[in-house]
Structure 1
C-alpha cells in the first residue's frame, strides 16, 4: 500500500494562519489617496489572491447597494471607505449571498450611501475586525469565536445602548465569516495538485 502523506493538524493550522495574516492588513497600510477602479481591483486581488474581481462585479455591487457609490465628479472616485467595504465583501462573498451581505452591512451602517446614519464609522469597523482577527490568530486559533472578548469590545464603544447588540451581531458575523473563509481557502490549498 502507498503511504499517506502526513498533513498534520498543525500544518493545516499553520497554513490557515498564514492565509489569514496575508489578507488582514492594518488600516494604516491602505492607500492614503483616492483610486481609480482598476487600482481598487488590483488592491483587493493582491489581498485575496483566490478572488477575482472585474469592473462589472464592482459596478453590480454599487448598483445593488452592497457597497457605496464612488464620489461623483472625481476621476479617482474610490476611497479607503470603498476598500474597506470590498475587503469585507471579499470575506463574505464565498459564504453569503449578495442580499445577506447587505443585511450584515445594514446592521452597522443602515443606508449604504448615507454616512450620516452609520452607527460606527467604516474605519472603526475595520479596526475592530482587524483587532479581533489578529488577536484570535495569536491567542486562540482553535477557538471559533471569543464571545467574551467581542462583548467587551462592543461595550467599550461610545454608541447608544440599543445599537450595541446590532454592532455585536455585525462583528460576530464578520469574525465567523473570516474564519469560514480561511478554512475554505485552506481546504482548497490542501486539494491543489491532488
Structure 2
C-alpha cells in the first residue's frame, strides 16, 4: 500500500487555511423559515462536509435543539440572525461534545444575551470568539506539521507496512491531542456554575 503522506499533509494544511466561519454580516437581516435556514447553513458550511451528501443541519436537528432548549424557539416559525449564530456554535460543538454539555455551555449564553436589546449580544460574543480563528489556525498548522514530522521517525526499522504504521502513528498523535482537549473541555463544563 503506497500512501503519499506529504500530499496528504499538504492537503490537510490547505484545507485548514481555507476554513472560514460565517460572518454575521453574511447572515440575512431578515428572519428565515426552516428551509431557508437549512439551505443557508448547508451552503455556507459546505466546505466542512466530509462527504458531499452530508447534511450540515436538518429540520429534525433544529427542531430537537429547540425542543431540548438548546436553541431558543423560533418566533412564528422564523429564525433570527441570533438563532443562526447559536446554531453555528452548536454545529461546531456537536462533533466533540454531548448535547448535555452543549446545553450547559450555551444555556447561560442564550439566557443572558439572546435578543436582550443591549450592545453586548450573541453577535458580540460570536465576533469575539471567531476573531481568534486566524491566530489559532496558524498555531494548529504548526502543531500538525510537528506531529507529522515526529510520526515520520516512528517505525524506522520496519520494512513492511512502514508507511501505514507511520500514518497510524500520526493519526494516533492527532487523536490523543483531541482526546486530551476533549477531557479538558468536559472538566471545564463540569465546573460551570449550576442554575
| TM range, smaller chain | 0.5 to 0.7
Structure 2 residue aligned with 1:140: 139
- Which secondary structure does the structure 1 equivalent of 2:95 belong to? coil
Give the whole-Å Cα distance in 1 for the aligned partners of 2:121 and 2:112. Answer: 13
TM-score, scaled to structure 2: 0.59
Offset, 1:108: 3.1
Give the whole-Å Cα distance in 1 for the aligned partners of 2:27 and 2:134. Answer: 17
Provide, for residues 23-67 of structure 1, a one-character-per-residue CA deviation record: whole Å limited to 9, x for no partner: x03211111111111101111111233252222221111010000
Contact (CA 8 Å) 1:48, 1:90: kept in 2 or not?
Answer: no
2:40 to 37, 40, 43: 43
Q: Could you say what the CA RMSD is over the residues aligned between the two structures, in angstroms?
A: 3.0
Deviates more, 1:46-55 or 1:95-104: 46-55
Give the whole-Å Cα distance in 1 for the aligned partners of 2:142 and 2:124. Answer: 24
Q: 1:60 to 1:46 in 2, by over 3 A?
A: same
Structure 2 residue aligned with 1:101: 102
Consecutive unaligned residues of structure 2, counting only runs of 5 or more, are 144-180, 183-195
Offset, 1:140: 3.0
Consecutive unaligned residues of structure 1, counting only runs of 5 or more, are 145-175, 178-194
Q: 1:41 to 1:83 in 2, by over 3 A?
A: same
1:68 maps onto 2:68 in alignment: no
How many pairs were matched up? Answer: 137
Offset, 1:106: 3.0
Structure 1 residue aligned with 2:17: 17
Rg comparison, structure with higher value: 2
TM-score, scaled to structure 1: 0.59
RCO higher in structure (CA 8 A, sep ≥6): 1
Structure 1 residue aligned with 2:30: 33
